[in-house]
């Protein structure tokens, strides 16, 4: 049977052709950023986006409509669709 390449030379086990590399132990999560859009009636539409592995923008959360309260904070009033992830 063929063995993976020598880890002493590469510093780690190298998978053979056709084998998948082992899953990464990294717990890095993908960055999600909000995008605010002012609607014609004075409300704000907030969409959450992230980049997938191919660096394409994909929607990562529900589209939520907010209004400003008396203290200047955004308060959610409507939810337009379910979260994708």
What are the helix (H) ranges across 1-85? Answer: 7-10
Better-scored residue on pLDDT, 14 or 79: 79
Q: What residues are paired with 50 via a beta bridge?
A: 32, 58
Residues whose CB falls within 8 Å of the CB of residue 12, separated by 6 or more in sequence, listed in order = none
pLDDT digits (tens, 9 = 90+) for 3-15: 556 666 767 766 6
Compute the 3-state secondary structure of the chain and give helix, strand, coil in percent, each to the nearest 5.
Answer: 5, 40, 55
Give domain limits for the chain: 31-85
pLDDT digits (tens, 9 = 90+) for 55-67: 888 888 889 999 9
CA atoms within 13 A on the CB side of 72: 0
Better-scored residue on pLDDT, 3 or 76: 76
């Amino acid at each position: 049977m063929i063995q993976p390449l020598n880890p002493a030379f590469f510093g780690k086990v190298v998978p053979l052709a056709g084998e998948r590399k082992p899953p990464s132990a990294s717990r890095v999560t993908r960055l999600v950023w909000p995008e605010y859009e002012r609607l014609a009636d004075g409300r704000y539409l907030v969409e959450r986006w992230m980049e997938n592995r191919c660096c394409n923008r994909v929607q990562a959360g529900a589209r939520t409509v907010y209004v400003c309260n008396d203290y200047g904070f955004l308060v959610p009033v409507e939810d337009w669709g379910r979260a994708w992830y």
